[in-house]
Copies of this chain bind each other. A is one copy, B any other.
């Protein structure tokens, strides 16, 4: 929900299950636990071995599935998807998994990431007479597979994957096989779990906890996994590179109870808070976190600094899609939106306000003002990650560079703009220390939006080329 305020939005989550008679229901629960990764649409495609059947819709997972006829979605294999849509892409036809039928075999695709050369590939396909149905970059892969030999096999998929450039986690389903693929630098998260005999695949491990499955292993960068009634096999479609897991997954996007590439998100955030306290502590009375995503870091900061953690800001749980926004006039008279201050906690205190990140600064400004209005004597803003200065090409919908406050202002200016008494960000080293246990080929983070060090490049790529996911 805060996502809307922040201007950082996850783009999608994928879920797959092979070998459980309640495949469609479990996909519902799995997707439900990843609702925070995409709120615009959701869907499932089930296979009963002979036929693929789809149920999709715009809206929250609950809205989409409350009308599902699960008896019509029989089959013990399923792939599912939750979707966040970029501007203009909010139409049913873009809701995934995309399903393409033919007279010989059908194919369903669920995707998290961004294909950087989608525009170019699409032009080439259309030139050859293909008709594409969606404005989604995901569809390109289906056509590339068809053009790579007109059969859906490990080989044609690998051939197709070698033509796309970007960050991606793909689930591909045909009648009797499921394929799982991760981009060569492993920017997006994707894990394998087990539920009894069944295989489970998900963007976040919280989906495993939700359905009672256990974590088995990470999908490796450049790996292509095939699951069939013969079991699970694995090949590589690309050379092994050092993994560069998206740092924003830890900072803001993933659920605190997920383990992203073996690291618990809550724990990493608490560490960020501790590192932040070490780097830039300040004399104050209480530590307050901006709910919900900054609570872990705030607790860490409080523990490290020895200051009490207090619930100085309350998030209204019932503010949802149907909330009637107050008019400008009422807002100026003091009517609150999602967050309210707790005057009896804040009044007269020197407050350290912990937030996970700042994008445009408008929300931070509003919260600082709210705390001051509630009587805070001082407000020291501490951000539990480095400042965001660069666009993301790997599937996170961020504000454009023009809007990024840190890309256009010094620390002093930011502090003044948001009205804080002081401000500090976590250092790049602090972030790495907080997240990484070791720095091996398997452990590494992408901090491109903070540092400008882009692990994957593509001439002419747009931040969001077509509607990505």
Chain A positions within 8 Å of B, measured between CB atoms, are 1, 22, 25-26, 28-29, 32-33, 35-36, 60-63, 65-66, 92-93, 100-104, 119, 122-123, 126-127, 129-133, 135, 142-143, 146-147, 150, 195-196, 206, 209-213, 255-257, 259, 264, 266-267, 292, 295-296, 299, 303, 308-311, 314, 316-320, 322-324, 326-327, 329-330, 333-336, 340-345
Contact = CB atoms under 8 A, between A and B. Distances in A.
A363 to B, nearest CB: 18
A149 to B, nearest CB: 9
Nearest to A292: B317
A76 to B, nearest CB: 14
B323 A32 contact: yes
Given A266-B345, A309-B299, A324-B28, A314 B255 contact: yes
Which among A26, A130, A255, A292 has the highest number of chain B CB atoms within 10 Å?
A: A130
Nearest to A321: B62
A11 B211 CA distance: 34
B62 A320 contact: yes
A338 to B, nearest CB: 11
16 contacts: A33-B340, A61-B318, A66-B324, A93-B93, A102-B126, A104-B126, A127-B150, A209-B340, A209-B341, A209-B342, A209-B343, A211-B333, A256-B311, A259-B344, A266-B342, A317-B317
Nearest to A64: B322
A62 B133 contact: no
Contacts of A329: 22
B100 A133 contact: yes
Contacts of A196: 333
A334 B266 contact: no
Give the oligomeric copy count.
4
A210 to B, nearest CB: 5
Contacts of A323: 32, 62
Contact of A316 (B26, B32, B143): B32
Given A335-B210, A340-B257, A342-B256, A330 B25 contact: yes
A126 B329 CA distance: 43
Contacts of A100: 131-133
B318 A32 contact: yes
B336 A212 contact: yes
Contacts of A267: 344-345
Given A66-B324, A130-B130, A292-B317, 16 more contacts: A29-B326, A29-B335, A32-B319, A35-B317, A62-B322, A129-B130, A129-B150, A130-B131, A131-B133, A131-B142, A206-B340, A211-B334, A211-B335, A212-B336, A299-B309, A317-B317
B62 A318 contact: yes
Contacts of A150: 126-127, 129
Nearest to A296: B311
B316 A33 contact: yes
A230 B86 CA distance: 39
A329 B65 CA distance: 19
